[in-house]
């Protein structure tokens, strides 16, 4: 196996710009790794060998011509299949979009291409990003590279598995209720959900528009920050995009790596595992508690904070997200793109729509569309959707109060380590509790990162570091300091074989 695949994104970029290795060699090494292991991992839905080699050759040509290269030029990346890519299949993990090739690029696709980043292919995911295990993909599950019988998290499980399996040093995911942070945690890598509005949603296939946010995965905090700065920034094509400067996350990651956190106030959220540890695995809590002690050892002032409404985040989320999804997924109507079923010249348009959606959507998507339809219906709207929106306000207020006492808040990222494929599929609520710790930041639109903090039962545990809106750099600073202080979790990953 080529040593190139073990390098960090930052190291690859340095070697390419110095001419020590070509971008084509780097791409070839990663494509070879994908051929070697992806039959077992199934991180990818589509591999774009030709496009990757072409993009890499362009970087090499630019370097030879003396043109300036971006900080990640020539670095390979895996893209979640919910992000549209011109001319490349984009399914969002759904049968309803099988074979669709988008006529345009998402803004983040455009940004990574302009940065000279080499897109290797599209990664597997829970259908329309609804799930926490990638088992809801219409194209079969992705396996966790730590243990192929277990889930890689979700919904961005293909993106997390690709990075953990050294198929790509970087990947992009989307996070609506934890879909970047939880997969990062259970695969032992770093994943960040930016402040809502920091990264353009133009070209993201919408699940829950007021919550969806794309973000970076990497094996190190610095790599993740480098990708964050490529992705983030104002986009006139997304009216919820923040018209302001990008948080200085790369500088923060470099500062954090210096090691000390003197004077940084770290708030441990009582409601996320402390006050009621039931539902949390003991190994996860002990790994998290040890991580908090490490932060204290780095000079941080650790305080306990209370966010009493966080306990209602799960209920509010599983009303708001399905409500928005039931509206967003109305666009899959068998007219403009994707599947059409039952068009026999006799069936009406409505019949064809109903038959198409029935055939094209999986069980979880249907469940959420029906829940959303219910929660938005007259007579129920105030009691469900309206009340959930009020709870959302209270959660945001809890954050505001907590950030009076602390610069960042910490919690476990997920209450448990990666579970077995198939274990929770029959019980939607057992699946939903994956998101217990990640949902508050989603509802408040605030940034949060997951950084590996140890092992339990030989499987990775993640620590979540949350910051106020627009202060993404705080997440990266604390995560980088922590990363520098501990043994790298990914060093323990078992070698994959064919």
Partner 1 sequence: MTSALRGGGVPNLGAADFGPSVDLPVVPDAIETTSPGGRISRADVAHLARLARLAVTEDELDTFAGQLDVILGAVARVGEVAAADIPPTSHAVLMTNVFRPDRVYPSLPREAVLAGAPDVEDDKFRVPRILDEEA
> What string of DSSP letters covers 401-428?
HHHHH-SEEEEESSSS-PPBTTTTTT-H
C-beta of residue 272 within 8 angstroms of C-beta of residue 411: yes
- According to CB under 8 A, which one of 3, 39, 66, 348 is a site residue for partner 1? 348
Distant-in-sequence, close-in-space partners of 390: CB < 8 Å, separation ≥ 6: none
Smallest separation, CB 288 to partner 1 (Å): 25
If one asks whether residue 373 binds partner 1 (CB under 8 A), the answer comes out as yes
Site for partner 1 in 101-120 (CB under 8 A): 101-104
- What is the side-by-side strand order in the sheet with 190-193? 44-47, 118-123, 76-80, 170-175, 213-218, 190-193, 448-456, 459-466, 408-412, 265-269, 301-305
- Closer residue to partner 1, CB minimum distance, 299 or 386: 386
Residues near partner 1 (CB under 8 A), total: 82
- Closer residue to partner 1, CB minimum distance, 42 or 392: 392
- Closer residue to partner 1, CB minimum distance, 295 or 355: 355
Site for partner 1 in 422-441 (CB under 8 A): 428-429, 432
Smallest separation, CB 44 to partner 1 (Å): 22
If one asks whether residue 98 binds partner 1 (CB under 8 A), the answer comes out as no
Smallest separation, CB 259 to partner 1 (Å): 33
Distant-in-sequence, close-in-space partners of 224: CB < 8 Å, separation ≥ 6: 170, 190, 191, 192, 216, 217, 218, 253, 449, 476
**Strand residue runs (E) in 222-370:** 265-269, 301-305
- According to CB under 8 A, which one of 363, 420, 458, 487 is a site residue for partner 1? 363
SS3 string, 69-136, reads CCCCCCCEEEEECCECCCCCCCCCCCHHHCCCCCCCCCHHHHHHHHCCCEEEEEECCCHHHCCCCCCC
CA angle 15-16-17, nearest 5°? 95
If one asks whether residue 64 binds partner 1 (CB under 8 A), the answer comes out as no
If one asks whether residue 380 binds partner 1 (CB under 8 A), the answer comes out as yes
User: Has 327 been annotated as catalytic?
Assistant: no
For the chain, the first-to-last Cα distance in angstroms comes to: 12
- According to CB under 8 A, which one of 44, 166, 280, 318 is a site residue for partner 1? 318
If one asks whether residue 349 binds partner 1 (CB under 8 A), the answer comes out as yes
Q: How far apart are CA 361 and CA 66, in angstroms?
A: 50
Strand pairing partners for 459? 456
Q: How far apart are CA 454 and CA 475, in angstroms?
A: 18
Segment interacting with partner 1 (CB under 8 A) among 23-31, 39-47, 444-452, 490-498: 444-452
Question: Per the residue annotation, which of 155, 208, 411, 442 is the catalytic one?
Answer: 155
Residue 394: burial class (beta carbons within 10 Å; 0-12, 13-18, 19+): middle
User: Has 208 been annotated as catalytic?
Assistant: no
Site for partner 1 in 203-232 (CB under 8 A): 210-211
- Tell me the three state secondary structure of residue 42: coil
Q: How far apart are CA 340 and CA 146, in angstroms?
A: 39
- According to CB under 8 A, which one of 139, 202, 207, 361 is a site residue for partner 1? 361
If one asks whether residue 138 binds partner 1 (CB under 8 A), the answer comes out as no
Segment interacting with partner 1 (CB under 8 A) among 39-47, 49-57, 219-227, 306-314: 306-314
- According to CB under 8 A, which one of 446, 450, 456, 464 is a site residue for partner 1? 446
If one asks whether residue 197 binds partner 1 (CB under 8 A), the answer comes out as yes
Beta strand 265-269 with 408-412 is parallel
User: Has 80 been annotated as catalytic?
Assistant: yes
If one asks whether residue 251 binds partner 1 (CB under 8 A), the answer comes out as no
- Closer residue to partner 1, CB minimum distance, 94 or 220: 94
If one asks whether residue 377 binds partner 1 (CB under 8 A), the answer comes out as yes
- Closer residue to partner 1, CB minimum distance, 44 or 318: 318
Residue 429: burial class (beta carbons within 10 Å; 0-12, 13-18, 19+): exposed
Site for partner 1 in 388-407 (CB under 8 A): 388-394, 396
Smallest separation, CB 317 to partner 1 (Å): 9
- According to CB under 8 A, which one of 340, 425, 484, 486 is a site residue for partner 1? 340
DSSP 8-state class, residue 5: G
If one asks whether residue 65 binds partner 1 (CB under 8 A), the answer comes out as no
Q: How far apart are CA 329 and CA 225, in angstroms?
A: 32
* Residue corresponding to tokens 């609804």: 130
- Closer residue to partner 1, CB minimum distance, 32 or 433: 433
Smallest separation, CB 481 to partner 1 (Å): 27
- Tell me the three state secondary structure of residue 305: strand
Question: Per the residue annotation, which of 22, 94, 156, 179 is the catalytic one?
Answer: 179
- According to CB under 8 A, which one of 171, 323, 450, 464 is a site residue for partner 1? 323
Cite the active site residues.
80, 155, 179
């Amino acid at each position: 196996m080529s040593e190139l695949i073990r390098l960090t994104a930052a190291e690859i970029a340095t070697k390419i710009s110095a001419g020590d290795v070509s971008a084509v060699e780097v791409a070839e090494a990663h494509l070879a790794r994908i051929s070697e292991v992806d039959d077992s991992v199934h991180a990818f839905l589509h591999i774009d060998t030709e496009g990757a080699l072409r993009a890499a050759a362009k970087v090499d040509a630019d370097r030879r011509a003396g043109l300036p290269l971006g900080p990640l030029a020539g670095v390979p990346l895996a893209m979640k299949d919910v992000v549209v890519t011109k001319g490349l299949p984009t399914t969002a993990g759904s049968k309803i979009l099988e074979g669709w090739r988008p006529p345009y690029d998402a803004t983040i696709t455009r940004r990574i291409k302009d940065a000279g980043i080499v897109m290797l292919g599209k990664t597997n995911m829970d259908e329309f990003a609804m799930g926490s295990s990638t088992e809801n993909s219409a194209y079969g599950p992705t396996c966790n590279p730590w243990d192929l019988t277990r889930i890689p998290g979700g919904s961005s499980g293909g993106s997390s598995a690709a990075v953990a399996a050294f198929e790509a040093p970087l990947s992009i995911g989307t996070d609506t209720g934890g879909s970047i942070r939880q997969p990062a945690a259970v695969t032992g890598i770093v994943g960040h959900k930016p402040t809502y509005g920091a990264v353009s949603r133009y070209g993201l296939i919408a699940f829950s528009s007021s919550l969806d946010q794309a973000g970076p995965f990497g094996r190190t905090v610095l790599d993740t920050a480098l990708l964050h700065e490529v992705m983030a920034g104002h986009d006139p094509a997304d009216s919820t995009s923040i018209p302001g400067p990008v948080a200085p996350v790369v500088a923060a990651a470099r500062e954090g790596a210096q090691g000390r956190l003197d004077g940084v106030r770290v708030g441990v959220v009582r409601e996320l595992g402390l006050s009621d540890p039931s539902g949390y695995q003991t190994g996860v809590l002990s790994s998290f508690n040890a991580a908090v002690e490490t932060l204290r050892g780095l000079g941080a002032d650790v305080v306990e904070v209370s966010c009493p409404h966080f306990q209602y985040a799960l209920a509010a989320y599983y009303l708001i997200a399905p409500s928005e999804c039931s509206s967003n997924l109305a666009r899959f109507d068998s007219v403009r793109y994707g599947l059409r079923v039952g068009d026999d010249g006799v069936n009406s348009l409505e019949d064809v729509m109903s038959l198409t959606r029935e055939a094209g959507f999986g069980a979880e998507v249907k469940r959420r569309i029906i829940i959303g339809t219910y929660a938005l219906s007259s007579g129920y709207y105030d009691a469900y959707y309206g009340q959930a929106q009020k709870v959302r306000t209270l959660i945001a207020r809890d954050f505001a109060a907590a950030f009076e006492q602390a610069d960042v808040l910490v919690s476990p990222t997920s209450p448990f380590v990666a579970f077995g494929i198939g274990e929770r599929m029959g019980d939607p609520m057992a699946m939903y509790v994956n998101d217990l710790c990640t949902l508050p930041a989603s509802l408040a639109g605030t940034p949060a990162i997951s950084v590996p903090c140890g092992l339990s039962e030989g499987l990775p545990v993640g620590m979540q570091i949350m910051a106020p809106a627009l202060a993404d750099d705080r997440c990266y600073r604390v995560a980088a300091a922590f990363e520098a202080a501990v043994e790298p979790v990914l060093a323990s990953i078992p070698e994959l074989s064919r």
